Amino acid sequence: MERLDNMSTPVDSNSEINNDENMKSETEVSSGNQGQGFVYQELSARITNPVKLAALLRAQFGDGQYEVSMIRSVYNVGTPRRLSLTEISLCRGL
């Protein structure tokens, strides 16, 4: 899965920077269906209820038809289509 933060920049192949080393602290959880052409969105973990998010994703897309990872208090959600503002608002609140 590609990084979603705005801080990442393209690296020349001749550069001595190793992106694998820079990403070691990030944890990713996948449904195992990578490469399906998912659309990725970022949701703040501070205002998103993970139980509500999981229930919404299962109801809308079915088991294994989405990906969720958390990096630095941000849920990175991959789905077949973008979540609407209404769907996102249903996941708010703890």
The pLDDT of residue 10 is 39
**Domains of the chain, residue spans:** 31-90
CA–CA distance, 53 with 58 (Å, rounded to integer): 9
**Banded pLDDT at 29 (limits 50, 70, 90):** very low
What are the backbone angles phi and psi of residue 77, rounded to the nearest 5°? -110, 125
Q: In this structure, what DSSP letter does residue 92 have?
A: B
pLDDT band, residue 8 (cuts 50/70/90): very low
| Percent of the chain's residues with pLDDT above 90 | 56
